[in-house]
A = this chain, B = another copy of it.
Amino acid sequence: MHDLREAGAKAARIMADHLEGVAERPVWRPVPDGELAWLTGQELPETGRALDDLLEDAREHVLPYPMGNGHPRFFGWVNSPPNPAGVLVEPLAAALNPSCAGGDHAGPHLERTVVRWLAGLVGFPHPPGGGLLTSGASMATVICLATARQQAALADGWDAREEGLSGRPPLVMYVTEEGHSCLHKAAQLLGLGSRNVRLVPVDGAYRMDVRALRAMIAEDLDAGLRPFCVAGSAGTVNSGAVDPLDDIADVAASYGLWFHVDGAYGALGVLAGGAAPHYAGMERADSLALDPHKWLGVPVGCGCALLRDPAAARAAFSLVPSYLVDENAGDLGWFAEYGPEQTRPFRALKTWATLSYLGRSGVKGLVEHTTGLARTLGEMIEAAPDFELLAPVTTSITAFRHTPRAGALPREVDALNRALPVAVQARGNAFLTGTRLGGRDALRTCILHPGTTEQDLVVLLEEIRLAAKAL
């Protein structure tokens, strides 16, 4: 084990070197051909290699080619830098290497704590057993919607797990045009069908038009369909818009629909001073998806599904006949009874470490710092004649576009903004991505890095200008 001891110390040094130097290196650069050949083309060695060689390989061929999200000027998608405490405990979790399917060992017990902490942070009710960690929000969403599907079936006197959906009327769900693709993927996976996912229009701030929602439900009922679920967003990925959750909860209650909230990115935004009114009603949801690997920076992958009624998720997933239930498991049973995974990684340790390292005030501070910067960026854009803000800034996302030439045709502005993200990325000084918003090609930034400063925003806008000139 001497070898492992030395190698462990070396791995820690490489890790620290990497994190220390992130800000001085390019945000991102394309993987050069020679390195691509190494990464994709190598052959499995016939005989084993030394631990030290593997670390040198990782240092030379892997760590120099990051996605970019460790850098304070990475504004792409919704990918955060890793929290140092989360990084630190990874070898401990791996050395222990439990399956957190359940059982009486540290992993599943600690998972109870972090799920409770997450629910507490966003003010969601948390009955014991009312949640579990997943690989990310996509899987959390699958769990929540599968639970909703089974509850709707049971309410109608059938069993979706046993019978399947064949021969039953379509179950219809409602999301906005701005709802995340994982909701559509989940509907397809669950056999509901994309055509039974209604796209509710949004208002000028990209929030669900609740009047339209009501009308669509009424129309589907008239047509003999079975509305079963409405999914609101607590922070869309395009603009950060938070749907009018309280109004949606009213509609869901009046029609007896499951109310799911996609808070994967934005649920923690409720912690920013003054943000609470935007989030009113989130606590009324039947289920809430919330990703610790987004705003909190818990190393990927760590999502979380929170459920108002733990028994509902168990009814949708548990395959354990009563006589086989682990006698020591207590009323809550095993985590594997609440979702599709059997062997489950020890996601709780890095989440516990991250939350403990930040503390409640640290989480709040991180959310306020990043939403504050997003607002500042919005103000800089509104003050600049060559930029246009496309949506109100509610969380830490700012959606905008570059409009350097007065009188340019709409399709020219679209083409420019469609080309800009790749051009900016290639310069290596900042990283942002594009999207479409209200039918227009847009630039968008999501600020999640605790080390990002106002000066980084100045650099970002300048990089966009420089990239546009070179196009």
Point out residues on A near B: beta carbons under 8 Å: 1, 4-5, 7-9, 11-16, 18-20, 28, 30-31, 36, 39-42, 44-49, 51, 54-55, 57-58, 61-70, 77, 79-82, 84-99, 103-107, 109-110, 112-113, 117, 120-121, 135-139, 142, 146, 149, 160-171, 181-182, 184-196, 291, 293, 299-301, 317, 319, 327-328, 340-346, 349-350, 353, 355-362, 422
Of the candidates B66, B86, B196, B422, the one whose C-beta lies within 8 Å of that of A94 is B86
Report whether over half of chain A's contact residues are helix, strand or loop; otherwise say mixed: helix
Asked whether, in the complex, the Cβ of B20 is within 8 Å of the Cβ of A1, the reply is yes
Nearest CB to that of A343 among chain B residues? B136
User: Residue on B with the closest CB to A84?
Assistant: B4
Contacts of A9 in B (CB 8 A): 9, 12-13
Q: Which of B68, B87, B194 interacts with A91 by CB under 8 Å?
A: B87
Instruction: For the complex, give the distance between the alpha carbons of A346 and B58 in Å.
Output: 13
- Given the interface pairs A63-B96, A106-B61, the reply to whether A345 lies near B44 with Cβ below 8 Å is no
On whether the beta carbons of A91 and B51 are closer than 8 Å, the reply is no
- 12 more contacts with CB within 8 A, not counting A40-B110, A167-B167, are A5-B20, A9-B13, A12-B91, A47-B362, A62-B110, A67-B96, A67-B105, A70-B96, A135-B301, A138-B341, A161-B193, A300-B343
Interchain CB contact under 8 A, A106 and B31 = yes
Q: Are A44 and B355 in contact (CB under 8 A)?
A: yes
In angstroms, Cα B159 to Cα A194, docked, is 10
* Docked pose: A300 CA to B336 CA in angstroms: 15
Contacts of A107 in B (CB 8 A): 67
